[in-house]
Structure 1
Amino acid sequence: MRAKLARTVAITLLSSAALAGCASQEPVKAPTVDAPTEEIQETEEPEETEETVHEVTGHGVYQVETEDGAVITLAVPGEAPEDLESVRESVHAEPVDYLVVDIDNRQGVEELDLHGVTLIDSQGMSYEFHVPYFSLSSWYPESTEDARGYYLADGTEVSWEEGDEIIDAGIKTEKYMEPTMAMARGTNVFIGIDGLPEDIVRVVVDDGYEGLDATYLNE
């Protein structure tokens, strides 16, 4: 009886000690979906903010090749075509600058139709050159109020015959706006403001898509 009581007391003491030991340690919590976790900070690559610096190239000859194999060569500014300049002078319009573009599409596989050229100077100013149509439409004489003749750009009145001759001469210059067929060579002319700056840094040819940056060749 005494031995049984002693064994019972020993078991009780051991159980109490075990519980006391467990109570002294903080329980470990199993991770759950809702449990807060430490966020991993992802490092992003810094965006490039530095703008491309273009070297001042100025007036001269520029060239660019299309993906289809056509070679476009520009004279900036170009020598004024006599027929276009004659129309401008005959209507007393303000002076302009011309860009003469040689299009060698003999190795090309598609027709090439240029829409214009943009020149950019070192200050970021843009100078747009368009097909002659836009200038010609403003150059052409307008009929007088009494329908006896035409008015020129500066208000000078001319006869029907003179006005019609000017219009006919302008129509003949539409050849400078025609697309260049594949396996052919052609010339386009674009017209812009008079007095181009010397500090040109970029020449972009509008091919109807993204635009083509021309490379400076020489003066």
Structure 2
Amino acid sequence: MNRIRSSSAALALVVGVALLAVGCAPAAESTPTPTAVAEAPTETPEPPKVYPANADYFFVSDEGAVGKFAFPGEPNASIEELRNIVGAAPVTYVTVVVDNRQGAAPVNMYELAAFDADGRKYTFSTVDTFMDDWMTTIGTETNEEIDLYNRFVDAVNANMIYAEVGMVATFVMASADLDLPAEFTRITVQASGGMTPGVEVRPVSEAEDAGVDLSFEAP
């Protein structure tokens, strides 16, 4: 009788250990389903900007002045007359009309610069700087020379434009570069001195969408 009980107890112990071993076995790890990686959309690079010659442009300076001009412009008749008299080298002209009525700083049109595809820079400065050089060739020995010199002085003073806040003014600018390309990659304006960064110009066709009024004219 005791032998039968011992056998039954031993059997129960074995079964219990087996069940315990089964219960402690780690669950089989499931293999994760690969997730498809979304491809980033391919960005189409913007085409390079093109600024054609013989077109109209405008700019808004960081200080709020608005300017408009044709690039390049027509020769200035009165200045061309003086240049021809002294035999100075030809120049290319640009005439810029600036509305500084809403600006926050005076405008002196320090520089207008254009850049071509080869990286060359074409610089335009106010024409009085050119006339300063031209008049150095004039003598002051005869009445005719003195009269011509005085004409230059008057012309230089008339073109030393400084548009204060509240003014609309016309700036005649010039460059020694004559053979301009048919198009440019960039045109910039430094309106309020050489210490300010240049702003890029825009075609006048974009003025309305930009909310810029270009109907002004210099008095």
- For the aligned pair, the TM-score class normalised by the smaller chain equals 0.5 to 0.7
Distance 1:51 1:134 in 2: 39
| Contact 1:100–1:189 (CA under 8 A) maintained in structure 2 | yes
- Taking the TM superposition and a 5 Å limit, the aligned residue runs for 1:1-219 are 53-142=48-137, 149=139, 160-173=142-155, 174-193=157-176, 194-207=178-191, 208=193, 209-217=196-204
Q: Percent identity?
A: 24
The structural deviation recorded for 1:206 is 1.7
Aligned with 1:73: secondary structure? Answer: strand
Distance 2:163 2:85 in 1: 29
The structural deviation recorded for 1:176 is 2.4
| Contact 1:56–1:122 (CA under 8 A) maintained in structure 2 | no
Q: Gaps spanning 5+ residues in structure 2: where?
A: 1-44, 206-219
The structural deviation recorded for 1:118 is 0.8
Aligned with 2:149: secondary structure? Answer: helix
Q: Deviation above 4 Å: which 4+ runs of structure 1?
A: none
The structural deviation recorded for 1:101 is 0.6
Count of residues paired in the alignment = 156
TM-score by length of 1: 0.63
TM-score by length of 2: 0.63
Distance 2:47 2:197 in 1: 18
Distance 1:195 1:161 in 2: 38
Aligned with 2:52: secondary structure? Answer: coil
The structural deviation recorded for 1:51 is 11
Q: Gaps spanning 5+ residues in structure 1: where?
A: 1-49, 144-148, 151-158
Aligned with 1:78: secondary structure? Answer: coil
| Contact 2:115–2:121 (CA under 8 A) maintained in structure 1 | yes
String of CA shifts for 1:60-105, please: whole Å, max 9, x gaps: 1111112333111122111222221111011111211111010011
Distance 1:131 1:217 in 2: 22
